[in-house]
Amino acid sequence: MANLFHHCFVIYLILLDCFYLCLPTASAELQRFKQPVKEDGSLSFLVIGDWGRNGYYNQTEVAAQMGRIGEELSTDFVVSTGDNFYEDGLRNIRDPTFKRSFTKVYTAKSLQKQWYTVLGNHDYRGNVRAQLSPTLRNIDGRWLCLRSFIVNAEIAELFFIDTTPFVDKYFSKPKHHRYDWRGVMPRQQYLSNLLKELQTALQDSIASWKIVIGHHTIKSIGHHGETTELVQRLLPILEANNVDMYINGHDHCLEHMSSINSLIQFLTSGGGSKAWKGDFDQLNRDGLKFYYDGQGFMSLQVTETEAKIAFHDISGHSLHSFSLFKQPNLHAGSTSEE
């Protein structure tokens, strides 16, 4: 009887996945989710990127410190900046990598909260729709992964953007990699729709804080450096709409850069597992506030008038922290570093 139930459940998962695979996905319309704040109106969350390696490369150690800091801050949710499963994403909705790299690694009580997740370029090398499938939420209820979406947390709005399709080389020079572009083609229409949706959403936002999250860098001195396509197409929209922070992964480091053209703070949290020691541009340091070529994660504590950001290493120590300030309901702000 138990075997019959198991087989029926597997068939159900396959049919459910097939249903979602058949849904049209050419549109980049941004789905919205509501995230409650604490009773005092504040918000706290962690940011991790470039992590899914079955617990290896110190992924488990970073996860343990996330749990400790998460308990101290009473975090409300966790953000993943992508490259969730190495080296080539998930094969299907039954891929054991999902549990090995996610469910069985982030086990701390404070991490049993909603995870808001975007895709990275390594995720696109697998079965993208497996990662996007609601079936994974049945396996682990914390998991929420979409191409692009918005989280409304009252005092803050988080705009999650699918950055991988912007990068030309993944299409023109994929080398030996195979990317799953289902739902993205025709590419230019997809990107145009996404940028229009983002522009409208940012213009309409009345949140005190506007935070945009994507996998790829805009400003970075790390291994990948700036992503030209995002500098040209995404950055002008962020600047025109008074975005406070752009948070990304992709470079396997922790980093804080500022802009000379706007108040945007560029924050990299890509140290979830394997890091790249000594691999950075020592000459291009304009706007650099902090760089750490090791493993770790970020924490954010947000009120209507202040955002405290900290970068933590593999031992949970705070390596760099700073605060952003603003008047209620105004987007002009200032920065104070510690």
As annotated, the binding site includes 50, 83, 86, 121, 215, 250, 252
| β-pair type (318-326, 333-337) | antiparallel
Q: Please indicate whether residue 6 is annotated as part of the active site.
A: no
Exposed, middle or buried by CB within 10 Å (0-12, 13-18, 19+), for 334? Answer: exposed
Q: Is the torsion defined by CA of 90, 95, 99, 100 positive or negative? A: negative
The runs of H, that is alpha helices, within the chain are 2-22, 59-73, 97-98, 128-132, 135-139, 169-172, 187-204, 228-233, 235-240
What DSSP assignment string belongs to 4-73?
A: HHHHHHHHHHHHHHHHHHHS-------EEEE----TTS-EEEEEE-S--STTTTTHHHHHHHHHHHHHHH
Helix (H/G/I), strand (E/B), else coil: 104: coil
Tokens of 15: 């049919």
Burial class for 150, CB neighbours closer than 10 Å (0-12, 13-18, 19+):
buried
CA-based nearest residue to 209, from 264, 151, 156: 156
Question: β-strands 254-258, 31-34: how paired?
Answer: unpaired
**Which residues participate in the annotated binding site for Fe cation?**
50, 83, 86, 121, 215, 250, 252
Contact in structure between 211 and 158 (CB atoms under 8 Å):
yes
Burial (CB count within 10 angstroms: exposed 0-12, middle 13-18, buried 19+), residue 8 = exposed
As beta bridge partners, residue 44 has 301
Residue with tokens 């506030």: 289
What Rg, from alpha-carbon coordinates, does the chain have? 19
Give the active site residue among 122, 224, 256, 312.
Answer: 224
Whether omega before 236 lies within 30 degrees of 0, making that bond cis, reads no
Euclidean distance between CA atoms 161 and 104, whole angstroms: 27
Residues with a catalytic annotation lie at 224
